[in-house]
Amino acid sequence: MLGSRLFGAGYVKDSFVAATINRESRLPTGLPFLGFNAAIPHTDSEHVIKPGLALATLKNTVTFQNMAFPNGTVDVSLVFLLALEQPKAQIEMLQEIAGGGNFNESN
């Protein structure tokens, strides 16, 4: 759904959703946080027209593979779908979301 919205708004190519799902199956992005869990799916910049971010807060959790422990799972309630046109920007954005966050239960 998030990928379709980015596509409809002209941020990504029609290959974006399939490429993101394919990448997620090989390199999972589920992350446990204090108070909630998140996933940060993304794919290569060749599928992006212009940078964007789609965010979903889920009423019911969805299970993702754990980024840190790929054999484990994470029940996710927040999804950040990244569409970044610079390859290094994905790494910086992931570091910002995963490590730099002001994420805590009061935010």
Output the average pLDDT for the chain.
86
Query: What pLDDT is stored for residue 97 in this prediction?
Result: 61
Rounded Cα distance, 35 and 2, in Å = 23
Share of the chain above pLDDT 70, in %: 80
Residues near 32 by Cβ (< 8 Å), separated by ≥ 6? 66, 68, 74
Q: Print the domain residue range for 7.
A: 2-98
31-59 pLDDT, tens digit per residue, is 888 778 999 999 999 999 999 999 999 99
Q: What is the CATH number of the domain that holds 33?
A: 3.40.930.10
pLDDT at 102 over 50: no
CA atoms within 13 A on the CB side of 73: 7
User: For residue 72, is it within any domain?
Assistant: yes
Tell me the whole-structure pTM to 2 decimals: 0.81
Count of structural domains within the chain: 1
With b meaning 16 or more CB within 10 Å and e meaning fewer, what string describes 39-76? bbbbbeeebbeeebbbebeeeeeeebbbbeeeeeebeb
In a domain, 78, yes or no: yes
Please indicate, yes or no, if residue 106 is contained in any of the structural domains. no
Place of tokens 């998030």: 2
Residue 11 belongs to a domain? yes
Residue 104 lies in a domain: no
